[in-house]
Amino acid sequence: MYIVIVVLLALLTLAGFVGFGAARWFNIGIVLIQPSELAKIVMIIVMADYFSRHQHEIENPRVLLRSLLLMGVPLYLVFSQPDLSTSIVLGVIWVALVWAVGAKVKHLLALGSLVIALPLAAWPFLASYQKARVVTFLFPDPNASFGATYNVNQALISIGSGGWFGKGYGQGTQVQLRFLKVRHTDFIFSAMAEEFGFIGAFLLIGLFLFVIFRCLRASRIARDTFGGLIAFGVAILLLFQGAFNIGMNMNLFPVSGLPLPFFSYGGSSLLSILLGIGLVESVILRHKRIEL
C-alpha cells in the first residue's frame, strides 16, 4: 500500500488534473480521484505497523528518524502538489503516533520544535495563494470584496444569522443567494449553522466528538499495539481536520482546503474517512477484553 500510494502521488506531477492552482487529482473520465486523501489512511496503517514492531526501541533516535523518513516521502510529494494543509495533517498524524507509542519527553519536545520550525522553513517554497491566505489571516482587510477575507466574513455572517434554531433547510439567504462561497466544501459548517442554527451546530459537534471518543475507546481496549495505534491515528485525523475546518469557518485559523469529515463534498475524502472508520470497527470487533 505504501509503494502504491507513493507511486500515485509521484504520478500526479505527470498526469495530474490541475484545479485551483494545484495538481491533486486523477481524472478518469467519470470521477476525480485524490490520492492524498487515501494517503492519510495508508500512512496511519504504515506508521502503526512500524511503531508496533519497534515499540521497545522507541527511545532510539534512529527509530524515530526512520519513521520520519517513511512519512517524509509522501509528505513531500503532497506538499509539492502543492497541498500544504494535507501535508500538515500527515505531520500531525506522525507526531501523534510517536507520542502514543511512548517516546521520551525530550524527543517529543524536539519533535514539537521541528513542527514549529518546518512551516517557517517552508515559507519561501509556498505558492503565492498559500502565502496570501496566511497574510490575510494575520492582517485581514475588512473592506475586501473578494478573496479569503470576503469568504471568512460571509462565513461569520452565515453563522451569526442562523440564531438559535436556524432559518430552515434550504432557507439560508447567505447560502441560497450565493453570498457564501465554496459552501459545499470549505465552508459547509457555516452553511449548516445558518440553516440549523446554534442548536444544529452544537449537535453536529457533539456527534462528531462522540465518534472521536469511540475511536479512542477502541484504541484503549485494542488487543495489540498495531490495532490501538490505528484507532488512535483515525481519532487524531478526525479531531484535527474537524477542529481546523470549524475553526477556519469561525476565523480562528487560516483558510485551507481541509474538508469537514463526513460532511464536505468530495468522494475521495468521504471514502478515506469511511475506510478509517472501517479499520476502527475491525479493531473493536477483535478486542479480547469484555466490557460489562
Percent of the chain with pLDDT over 70: 79
pLDDT digit string, tens, across residues 6-30: 998 888 877 655 555 555 667 676 7
Q: Where residue 231 falls among pLDDT bands split at 50, 70, 90? A: very high
Please tell me the distance from the alpha carbon of residue 90 to that of residue 74, in angstroms, as a whole number: 9
Most confident listed range (85-94, 148-157, 273-282): 273-282
Shortest CA distance to 151 belongs to which of 136, 164, 138? 136
**Sequence spans of domains, the chain:** 136-292
| Cβ burial 207-233 (10 Å sphere, 16+ → b, else e) | ebeebbebbbbbbebbeebbbbbbbbb
Q: How many Å apart are CA 215 and CA 44, to the nearest integer? A: 14
Average pLDDT over residues 242-258: 87
Residues in the chain: 292
The residue type found at 123 is W
Longest Cα–Cα distance of the chain, Å, equals 59
Cell numbers representing residue 98 in the block: 510517536
Tell me the pLDDT tens digit for each residue of 22-80. 556 676 767 778 888 899 999 999 999 999 998 888 878 788 889 989 998 999 888 88
Torsion, Cα of 128, 133, 134, 137 (10° steps):
150
Entry pTM: 0.85
- The CA radius of gyration of the chain, in Å to the nearest whole number, is 20
